[in-house]
Amino acid sequence: MKESLKAGFTFGLISGVITTVGLMVGLHAGTHSKLAVMGGVLTIAIADAFSDALGVHVSEEYKNKSSTRQVWEATLATLASKAVFALTFLVPVLLLDLPAAIIAAVAWGLSLICILSYAIARAVGEKPIKVVMEHLTIAIAVIVMTHYLGDWVAATFGEVR
């Protein structure tokens, strides 16, 4: 796989997983609303995917080390992987009750991070356990913080209309 595609794919996957799971956990804690969680996932899949893709695009242009083709490959790979991986989190929300869906989404997200982290570690010659644990620690920190942030918003602002 081309480096530009790898860069966009890995960025989109990791960003898609962490952003989507964090948002889902926070929205669930704050609202306990399936509709809010579904709307959040769809928003991530569209708005955040385009935002990240543009960020990668601008960053690659600024580096001025990639061809125009490579810049666009990284951009489109980021957009596609972020959108597709974010949308996979709708599956448990559509099939399960919300608390079970959140647990399934967290498990799915952490599994994806483990798989990608292991592959990255192998590709760069690092110890997989070190890389996997580093990435899982960050993801779990996001999950914990967004859960408590959702609790805080619910407790502080209650039902805001």
Separation between Cα atoms, residue 57 and residue 3, nearest integer Å:
14
- Would you say the pTM of this structure is higher than 0.85? yes
CB of 99 closer than 8 Å to CB of 29: no
pLDDT tens digits, the chain, 161 residues: what are they? 788 899 899 999 999 999 999 999 999 999 999 999 999 999 999 999 999 999 999 998 998 888 999 999 999 999 999 999 999 999 999 999 999 999 999 999 999 999 999 999 999 999 999 999 999 999 999 999 999 999 999 999 986 55
Contacts 24+ apart (CB under 8 A), 113-118: 113/14, 113/17, 113/18, 113/139, 116/10, 116/13, 116/14
Token pair recorded at residue 140: 């779990």
DSSP state of 64: T
Residues 31, 99: Cα–Cα separation, whole Å: 12
On whether the CB atoms of residues 149 and 28 are closer than 8 A, the answer is no
- Is 58 in a helix, a strand, or coil? helix
